[in-house]
Amino acid sequence: MTKAWELYEERGQYTVVGQMYYSPEHRWLDPADAQAAKVALGRYATEGQARKDAESLVIGGATGEEFRTWVLPVWNGTPATYFAHRLQERKRQAMKANGPAEEAELERRIQWFKDHPDALHYRPDGPARCDCDSYTA
Protein backbone atom coordinates (compact mmCIF):
# COMPACT_ATOMS: atom_id res chain seq x y z
CA MET A 1 0.00 0.00 0.00
CA THR A 2 2.91 2.35 0.72
CA LYS A 3 4.31 1.88 -2.80
CA ALA A 4 0.88 2.61 -4.29
CA TRP A 5 0.60 5.84 -2.29
CA GLU A 6 4.12 6.91 -3.32
CA LEU A 7 3.24 6.28 -6.97
CA TYR A 8 0.01 8.28 -6.56
CA GLU A 9 1.92 11.20 -5.05
CA GLU A 10 4.64 11.01 -7.70
CA ARG A 11 2.23 11.04 -10.63
CA GLY A 12 -0.36 13.45 -9.25
CA GLN A 13 1.37 16.73 -10.01
CA TYR A 14 -1.70 19.01 -10.31
CA THR A 15 -5.09 19.47 -8.72
CA VAL A 16 -8.16 21.51 -9.64
CA VAL A 17 -9.88 23.67 -7.06
CA GLY A 18 -13.10 25.54 -7.60
CA GLN A 19 -15.39 27.91 -5.77
CA MET A 20 -19.03 28.50 -6.68
CA TYR A 21 -19.79 32.15 -7.35
CA TYR A 22 -23.21 31.87 -9.02
CA SER A 23 -26.17 29.69 -8.20
CA PRO A 24 -29.68 29.95 -9.74
CA GLU A 25 -31.20 29.85 -6.25
CA HIS A 26 -28.83 32.32 -4.55
CA ARG A 27 -27.66 34.39 -7.55
CA TRP A 28 -24.19 35.96 -7.13
CA LEU A 29 -22.40 34.67 -4.06
CA ASP A 30 -19.86 36.33 -1.80
CA PRO A 31 -16.77 34.05 -1.53
CA ALA A 32 -17.16 34.07 2.27
CA ASP A 33 -20.80 32.93 2.05
CA ALA A 34 -21.48 29.41 3.33
CA GLN A 35 -23.51 28.74 0.17
CA ALA A 36 -20.41 29.32 -1.98
CA ALA A 37 -19.38 25.68 -2.24
CA LYS A 38 -15.69 24.90 -2.53
CA VAL A 39 -14.29 21.77 -4.14
CA ALA A 40 -10.90 20.17 -4.81
CA LEU A 41 -10.92 17.58 -7.56
CA GLY A 42 -8.38 14.73 -7.33
CA ARG A 43 -4.90 14.75 -8.77
CA TYR A 44 -3.80 14.90 -12.37
CA ALA A 45 -0.60 13.75 -14.02
CA THR A 46 -0.42 16.69 -16.44
CA GLU A 47 -1.46 20.31 -16.39
CA GLY A 48 -3.45 19.71 -19.58
CA GLN A 49 -5.64 17.04 -17.96
CA ALA A 50 -6.25 19.31 -14.98
CA ARG A 51 -7.06 22.30 -17.21
CA LYS A 52 -9.60 20.23 -19.17
CA ASP A 53 -11.47 19.28 -16.00
CA ALA A 54 -11.23 22.84 -14.67
CA GLU A 55 -12.93 24.09 -17.83
CA SER A 56 -15.72 21.54 -17.43
CA LEU A 57 -16.30 22.70 -13.83
CA VAL A 58 -16.77 26.36 -14.79
CA ILE A 59 -20.45 25.92 -15.76
CA GLY A 60 -22.50 23.04 -14.39
CA GLY A 61 -24.98 22.23 -17.16
CA ALA A 62 -27.22 20.12 -14.92
CA THR A 63 -27.39 22.60 -12.04
CA GLY A 64 -26.73 25.96 -13.70
CA GLU A 65 -24.05 26.73 -11.10
CA GLU A 66 -20.91 28.60 -12.07
CA PHE A 67 -17.48 28.12 -10.51
CA ARG A 68 -14.21 29.97 -10.55
CA THR A 69 -11.49 27.40 -11.03
CA TRP A 70 -7.73 27.16 -10.54
CA VAL A 71 -5.20 24.54 -11.61
CA LEU A 72 -2.60 24.27 -8.87
CA PRO A 73 0.64 22.30 -8.59
CA VAL A 74 0.57 19.79 -5.74
CA TRP A 75 3.27 20.00 -3.07
CA ASN A 76 4.04 16.76 -1.22
CA GLY A 77 5.75 17.99 1.91
CA THR A 78 5.59 20.30 4.86
CA PRO A 79 5.13 24.07 4.72
CA ALA A 80 8.77 24.47 5.81
CA THR A 81 10.07 22.38 2.91
CA TYR A 82 7.75 24.23 0.52
CA PHE A 83 9.10 27.62 1.58
CA ALA A 84 12.68 26.35 1.45
CA HIS A 85 12.04 25.09 -2.09
CA ARG A 86 10.54 28.45 -3.10
CA LEU A 87 13.54 30.30 -1.68
CA GLN A 88 15.98 28.07 -3.57
CA GLU A 89 13.95 28.51 -6.76
CA ARG A 90 13.89 32.29 -6.33
CA LYS A 91 17.67 32.37 -5.82
CA ARG A 92 18.20 30.15 -8.87
CA GLN A 93 16.01 32.44 -10.99
CA ALA A 94 17.89 35.52 -9.74
CA MET A 95 21.26 33.92 -10.56
CA LYS A 96 19.96 32.97 -13.99
CA ALA A 97 18.62 36.49 -14.63
CA ASN A 98 21.82 38.20 -13.48
CA GLY A 99 23.92 35.82 -15.50
CA PRO A 100 27.63 35.13 -15.15
CA ALA A 101 28.39 38.45 -13.43
CA GLU A 102 26.71 37.39 -10.19
CA GLU A 103 28.33 33.97 -10.30
CA ALA A 104 31.73 35.62 -10.80
CA GLU A 105 31.11 37.93 -7.82
CA LEU A 106 30.13 34.95 -5.65
CA GLU A 107 33.29 33.09 -6.70
CA ARG A 108 35.38 36.19 -5.95
CA ARG A 109 33.93 36.39 -2.43
CA ILE A 110 34.45 32.69 -1.80
CA GLN A 111 38.05 33.00 -2.90
CA TRP A 112 38.59 36.03 -0.62
CA PHE A 113 37.47 34.01 2.42
CA LYS A 114 39.73 31.15 1.37
CA ASP A 115 42.65 33.59 1.05
CA HIS A 116 41.84 35.24 4.42
CA PRO A 117 40.97 32.35 6.76
CA ASP A 118 41.35 34.57 9.83
CA ALA A 119 38.79 37.13 8.64
CA LEU A 120 36.10 35.60 10.83
CA HIS A 121 37.16 34.93 14.38
CA TYR A 122 35.21 32.63 16.64
CA ARG A 123 34.70 33.92 20.16
CA PRO A 124 33.41 31.38 22.68
CA ASP A 125 31.78 34.17 24.72
CA GLY A 126 29.80 35.66 21.84
CA PRO A 127 28.98 35.62 18.15
CA ALA A 128 31.51 35.53 15.37
CA ARG A 129 32.92 38.91 14.50
CA CYS A 130 34.19 40.14 11.19
CA ASP A 131 37.63 41.66 10.86
CA CYS A 132 36.27 44.06 8.28
CA ASP A 133 39.30 46.39 8.37
CA SER A 134 41.31 43.84 6.42
CA TYR A 135 38.79 43.68 3.56
CA THR A 136 39.86 45.28 0.30
CA ALA A 137 37.70 45.13 -2.77
pLDDT digits (tens, 9 = 90+) for 42-53: 889 899 999 999
Note the helical H segments in 1-137: 2-11, 47-58, 79-98, 100-115
pLDDT digits (tens, 9 = 90+) for 81-125: 889 989 988 888 887 777 777 777 778 888 887 887 776 655 555
120 found inside a domain: yes
55 found inside a domain: yes
Is the pTM value of this prediction over 0.95?
Answer: no
CA distance 14 to 65: 24
135 found inside a domain: no
Give the pLDDT band (50/70/90) at residue 11.
confident
Question: Structural domain of residue 17, as residue ranges?
Answer: 2-73
Rounded to the nearest 10 degrees, how much is the dihedral formed by the CA atoms of 34, 72, 43, 46?
A: 150
Contacts of 41 (CB under 8 A, 6+ apart): 15, 16, 17, 18, 53, 57
Residues 7 and 68 in one domain: yes
18 found inside a domain: yes
Residues 6 and 69 in one domain: yes
Residues 13 and 28 in one domain: yes
91 found inside a domain: yes
Task: Write down the mean pLDDT value for the chain.
Answer: 80
Q: How many CB atoms lie within 10 A of CB 84?
A: 12
Q: Which of 1-10, 57-66, 77-86 has the lowest mean pLDDT?
A: 1-10
